[in-house]
Amino acid sequence: MRESGALKLLTDTWRGRFGVAVILVAVFVSIFGTLIAPYEPEASSLDVLQPPSLDHWLGTTESGADVFSQLLVGTRVSVLVGFAAAIISAVLGSMVGIASGYFGGWTDRILDALENWFLVIPTLPLMIVLARLLDPSLIVLIAVIGFTSWAGTGRIVRAQVLTLRERSFVERARALGAGDGYIIRTHILPNTLPLIFASTVLIIAVAILSEAALAFLGLGDPTRISWGTMLQNAFDSGAPSAGAWWYVIPPGLCITLLVLAVSLLGFLYEEYINPRLRRES
């Protein structure tokens, strides 16, 4: 019953359809991109910076590689980094936020200080420093983005848990002799999920953008093509000033579309999980 309600929201609204379509395509391409790419993504040729043609749908790069193929192959890194980093961030943020809000006292004070520290430190410079210190690789990228972006989620979750902790249904469960684990699982977490999800959605977006930014600055995984490294190469080779829009716009547009799709699904999810936002049928 719950599942059909969720499906209905996804299939009956344009936001749901758009979000699902973009994400399905992105996930499909990130899995099979290497197989459907018409050219070897890094194969150089003599057709340097050619505009779109029948041979090269999105033109070619400064080294004569096919932009369309790079775009398809690069999807994997953006999707992987975006989702994996957001999951790390959501898990960290909700664990810290719940522990901090639920247990209070010294636990709260220490975790809160940690949270403040991460909130105050500018994230991008921190990411750059961390990514520079560690050898750039996909795992490092995911870890760096995940570990630097959980503080906002932690703060939101903590605030929600502070109010939930005082509700009488939590008190009632305590009066029944329920343990902390049970109360967190059945009363705190379900009432915090929409917030966790909503902020995780934003973090997916931030993570995709951060990956692009780090790659753009040359801190991405050098062995893999991503939308960010495509932009980096484009700018390094002076493609924008050469008028090679086909090299700049596709990766930028892909980043934007994916971020938009993820956000729309996030809002729909919130509507679904919060019964009050749901329309009575």
Which residue intervals of 13-136 are DSSP H helices?
14-36, 67-103, 105-120, 123-133
CA distance 91 to 146: 9
As a whole number of angstroms, the longest Cα–Cα distance in the chain is 76
With CB under 8 A, what is the number of residues at the site for other proteins?
A: 18
Task: Check: CB of residue 74 under 8 Å from CB of residue 230.
Answer: yes
Residue 187 interacts with other proteins (CB under 8 A)?
yes
Comparison of 168 and 241: residue with beta carbon closer to other proteins:
168
Residue type, position 71, single letter:
L
Choose which of 105, 122, 181, 275 interacts with other proteins (CB under 8 A): 275
Task: Check: CB of residue 18 under 8 Å from CB of residue 264.
Answer: yes
Choose which of 94, 100, 153, 191 interacts with other proteins (CB under 8 A): 191
Residue 175 interacts with other proteins (CB under 8 A)?
yes
Residue 5 interacts with other proteins (CB under 8 A)?
no
Q: Tally the C-alpha atoms within 13 A of residue 245's C-alpha that lie toward its C-beta.
A: 1
Residue 161, SS3 per DSSP: helix
Give the shortest CB-264-to-other proteins separation in angstroms.
23
Name 60's bridge partners: 66
Choose which of 34, 45, 186, 237 interacts with other proteins (CB under 8 A): 186
Residue 66, SS3 per DSSP: strand
Residue 140 interacts with other proteins (CB under 8 A)?
no
Residue 35 interacts with other proteins (CB under 8 A)?
no
DSSP class per residue in 245-274? HHHHHHHHHHHHHHHHHHHHHHHHHHHHH-
Query: Which tokens sit at 144?
Result: 């760096």
Query: Which tokens sit at 106?
Result: 């010294």
Task: Check: CB of residue 243 under 8 Å from CB of residue 234.
Answer: no
Residue 32 interacts with other proteins (CB under 8 A)?
no
Residue 120 interacts with other proteins (CB under 8 A)?
no
Residue 169 interacts with other proteins (CB under 8 A)?
yes
Task: Check: CB of residue 19 under 8 Å from CB of residue 32.
Answer: no
Residue 226 interacts with other proteins (CB under 8 A)?
no
Give the shortest CB-4-to-other proteins separation in angstroms.
14
Residue 6 interacts with other proteins (CB under 8 A)?
no
Comparison of 122 and 181: residue with beta carbon closer to other proteins:
181
Choose which of 174, 235, 240, 252 interacts with other proteins (CB under 8 A): 174
Choose which of 5, 51, 125, 190 interacts with other proteins (CB under 8 A): 190
Comparison of 9 and 128: residue with beta carbon closer to other proteins:
9
Give the shortest CB-223-to-other proteins separation in angstroms.
45
Choose which of 167, 242, 243, 256 interacts with other proteins (CB under 8 A): 167
In the chain, what is the straight-line distance between the N-terminal and C-terminal CA atoms, in Å?
A: 13
CA distance 218 to 145: 15
Comparison of 80 and 178: residue with beta carbon closer to other proteins:
178
Comparison of 55 and 171: residue with beta carbon closer to other proteins:
171
- Residues in contact with other proteins by the rule CB under 8 A: 167-169, 171-178, 182, 186-187, 190-191, 275-276
